[in-house]
Copies of this chain bind each other. A is one copy, B any other.
Amino acid sequence: MSDQLTIKDIAKYCGVGVSTVSRAINDDPGISPKTKERVLKVVKKFHYIPNNSARNLKIQESNTIALIVRGLNNIFFQSMFDGFQTLLYKNGYDFLIHLVDENTAVSRSAIELAKEKRLKGVIFLGGQMEDPAVELDQLDVPYVLCTVAHSMYTPMPNVNLVAIDDAAESCKAVKYLIEKGHRRIAIITGHKDDRAVGGQRLSGYKRALAEAGIAYDEDLVGYMEEDIPEFTTENGYAVARKLLARTDFTALFCISDITAIGAYKAISEAGLNVADDLSVVGFDGIDLGRFTIPSLTTISQPKDKMVKSSVDLLMKAINGDDTPRQLVYSASLLERESVKAIER
């Protein structure tokens, strides 16, 4: 626990000015190789590490883009990190993941961070905002909203947005089940008052039913428990159990893969087999779904495309293109083994 080393200490020790040290550690061309080497040796010797706060305060612009993530437990988001990292590096940017917990506003975090780190841009992963354009008014760098419940923002042409149509995709999943002959189709959806992803996906379920002339039955709707973390295996398990105890159905649509895995367990404990006795469809397309037994049929979000587009939109915006775009991709139904056709 030695004392805080500063650039001054290094300069003094080397018998040079602080700017020389600064040049050395920042690979500035305007310094002779000899001095640079000498300084760097001292830097290394004392394990000197500059203070980023001072650095960030001083510099007028950085080269950093932040990924602001709400919901660390979201395994689908996690699977996108790597793609973002790689792409952003390739574009010559530094990259930073900033986790924001449930009780902090993403907008505030973003603005704080942007000031603190002189960000070049930010990408939001999850985290609903009432009105992004308003909440992010003070965010004076370009940003794109990735993977948010897009239709919440429907008439919102003033932000960059990359998303899927949650309602339409849900509808697709449920229609698939209907095609396979199912009519009693249960759903595990988000909290009862979820107006974001959960709400969207539930409405898609309702639409599919309506279009097929199947009556909507509230009994078949399992809302995630309030006292268990949302979108977890545990919650899926709990809700599926209740559903199974309450009523009959031949198919179950889970609005997230990780939830479906919990449902598998409840189904198994009820003495039933997934697919043979009860068809299951998930949503997201996480890797784990390949490894469940049986493997999980699901709505697979085009995450690579979404990552790429998010970065592209951001790059455009950074390079001065100030017409925001909304990209709504369609997801694909990934047919695996968890759905069986039944006789009408």
Nearest chain B residue, comparing its CB with the CB of A112: B49
CB <8 Å contact, B116 and A51: yes
Q: Within the oligomer, what is the number of copies of this chain? A: 2
A2 at the interface (CB under 8 A from B): yes
Q: Which of B2, B116, B138, B268 contacts A137 (CB 8 A)?
A: B2
CB <8 Å contact, A262 and B291: yes
CB <8 Å contact, B49 and A234: no
A4 at the interface (CB under 8 A from B): yes
Contacts of A46 in B (CB 8 A): 138
Number of interface residues of A (CB under 8 A): 50
Nearest chain B residue, comparing its CB with the CB of A236: B291
CB <8 Å contact, B72 and A140: no
Q: A72-B81, A262-B291, A293-B264 are in contact. Are A138 and B49 (CB under 8 A)?
A: yes
Contacts of A111 in B (CB 8 A): 47, 49
CB <8 Å contact, A291 and B237: yes
Task: Return the CB mask of A41-84 against B: 1 if under 8 Å, else 0.
Answer: 00000111111111011000000000000001100001001000
Q: A53-B116, A53-B117, A116-B52 are in contact. Are A137 and B47 (CB under 8 A)?
A: yes
For the complex, give the distance between the alpha carbons of A253 and B262 in Å: 24
Task: Return the CB mask of A269-309 against B: 1 if under 8 Å, else 0.
Answer: 00000000000000000011011110100000000000000
A31 at the interface (CB under 8 A from B): no
> What's the minimum C-beta distance from A59 to chain B, rounded to whole angstroms?
9
A20 at the interface (CB under 8 A from B): no
Contacts of A233 in B (CB 8 A): 287-288, 291
A245 at the interface (CB under 8 A from B): no
Contacts of A234 in B (CB 8 A): 287, 290-291
Q: Which of B5, B53, B268 contacts A53 (CB 8 A)?
A: B53
Nearest chain B residue, comparing its CB with the CB of A294: B268
Q: Which of B101, B115, B141 contacts A85 (CB 8 A)?
A: B101
Q: Which of B5, B97, B140, B264 contacts A2 (CB 8 A)?
A: B140
Task: Return the CB mask of A230-247 against B: 1 if under 8 Å, else 0.
Answer: 001110010000000000
Q: A54-B57, A72-B81 are in contact. Are A265 and B291 (CB under 8 A)?
A: yes
> What's the minimum C-beta distance from A172 to chain B, rounded to whole angstroms?
26
Q: Which of B3, B4, B57, B115 contacts A57 (CB 8 A)?
A: B57
CB <8 Å contact, A4 and B293: no
Beyond A49-B138, A72-B78, A72-B97, list 17 extra A-B contacts (CB 8 Å). Answer: A3-B140, A46-B138, A47-B111, A49-B108, A49-B112, A49-B115, A50-B115, A51-B115, A52-B112, A52-B116, A53-B56, A99-B99, A233-B288, A234-B287, A234-B290, A261-B291, A268-B293
For the complex, give the distance between the alpha carbons of A99 and B232 in Å: 22
For the complex, give the distance between the alpha carbons of A234 and B232 in Å: 20
